[in-house]
Amino acid sequence: MWQEHLQGRQIGLRQGRQDFDPARPSLLCVHGSGGNSKNFLPQLAGLSGQVNVAAIDLPGHGQTPGPGHEQVADYAAWLGDFLAAGPLRPVLLGHSLGGAVVMQLALERPHLARGLILAGTGSRLKVLPAILEGVLQNFQATVPLIVRNAYAPEVDPRFIEQGVVEMSQVDPQVLWGDFTACDRFDISHRLGEISLPAWCIVGDSDRLTPIKYSQYLAQHIAGAGLTIIEKAGHMAQLEKPAAFNEAVLDFMAGR
C-alpha cells in the first residue's frame, strides 16, 4: 500500500520486515536534520508485525533526490503531497526537524494523518549560530560536534562513530538548510490549533531538544501526553529502542 503513494517518483522509503496488513494501523517515520530513514531501523525491525511501519527520506536525504529545503513549511508540503497521492492515513512519527514537519502538516492538512508522535522536538527549534556557520565554513569539524551532542554522555562510542559517518555524507548545503529551517520554525502560538491525537517522547539526557521542549508540547496540544526515556539523548529511538517502541505501541493501540 505504501507503494501507491510513490506513483513512480524516486523517493527513499524503507518498510518493516512484515508484509502490509490492512488490519493493522500504519506508522510513517520522518527523520531529523541531516538524517535519513536509517535513523529508524530499530523501529522498522521492532514494530513490524504490530503496525505497518515505514520511514521516509526527505528531499535531499538518503535515496530521495534534492534539493533540500530551508523552511519547515516546504518539507511539510512535500510530505503532504506524498500522503495525498495514496490511500494511507498513518500516524506520523516525527523526530526533531521531522517533528516540526509533521506538526506543520497537522496544522495545514490534518486530514492526511491519524495522529502524531513527536520525538525529541519542540514548537521552537532555535539553532546555535556557531552550528549554522560551522556547517558551511568547517563542515568536517562541525559534524562530530553535532553528533556528540545528539547522544547521551554514556552512550556506546560506536553510535557516535556511525553517526559521524552518516552525517558526513550529507551535502553541507542540505544540512545547513535543515538547521536553518529549524531556526526559523516557531508555532508556539498555534499549538492549540492541533486537533490530531498526539504523544511526545524525549530522552532525559537530550541536550539538543531538552525535556522542557516536550513538556511544553504536551501541555499545549490538547490531550497530548509525554514519555521520558531514561539514559537516552536526542536519538532515543536508536539509543533505547525497546523503551521507545513500547511508547509508540502504547499510543498506536486502537489507531
pLDDT of residue 1: 86
pLDDT band (50, 70, 90) for residue 137: very high
Task: Compute the distance between CA of residue 56 and CA of residue 78 in angstroms, rounded to an integer.
Answer: 12
Burial of 22 (0-12, 13-18, 19+ CB in 10 A): exposed
Mean pLDDT within 121-132? 96
Q: In which residue are the cell numbers 529549524 written?
A: 182
pLDDT of residue 255: 73
Task: Compute the distance between CA of residue 83 and CA of residue 146 in angstroms, rounded to an integer.
Answer: 31
pLDDT of residue 254: 67
Mean pLDDT within 78-84? 98
Mean pLDDT within 126-140? 96
| Measured CA distances, 190 to 53, 56, 117, 126, 185 (Å) | 29, 26, 17, 17, 12
Does the pLDDT at position 17 exceed 90? no
N-term to C-term CA, the chain: 17
Scanning the chain, the segments in alpha helix (DSSP H) are 3-6, 41-46, 72-84, 97-108, 129-137, 139-149, 157-168, 172-184, 211-220, 236-239, 241-252
Scanning 185-235, the segments in alpha helix (DSSP H) are 211-220
Domain extents for the chain?
Answer: 3-252
pLDDT band (50, 70, 90) for residue 57: very high
CATH node for 3-252: 3.40.50.1820
Mean pLDDT within 96-120? 98
**Could you report the per-residue pLDDT of 149-206, keeping only the tens digit for each?**
999 999 999 999 999 999 999 999 999 999 999 999 999 999 999 999 999 999 999 9
pLDDT band (50, 70, 90) for residue 7: confident
Task: Compute the distance between CA of residue 137 and CA of residue 150 in angstroms, rounded to an integer.
Answer: 21
Task: Compute the distance between CA of residue 108 and CA of residue 3 in angstroms, rounded to an integer.
Answer: 24
Which stretch of 3-12, 50-59, 118-127, 241-250 has the lowest confidence by average pLDDT? 3-12
Q: Which of left, alpha, beta for 15 (phi over 0: left; psi -120 to 50: alpha)? A: beta
Instruction: Give Rg (Cα) of the chain.
Output: 17
**Could you report the per-residue pLDDT of 29-44, keeping only the tens digit for each?**
999 999 999 999 999 9
C-alpha cell at 67: 534539493
In the 8-state DSSP scheme, what is residue 61?
S
Which helix (H) or strand (E) element contains residue 51? none
Average pLDDT taken over every residue of the chain? 97
| Measured CA distances, 145 to 34, 92, 98, 164 (Å) | 13, 29, 21, 9
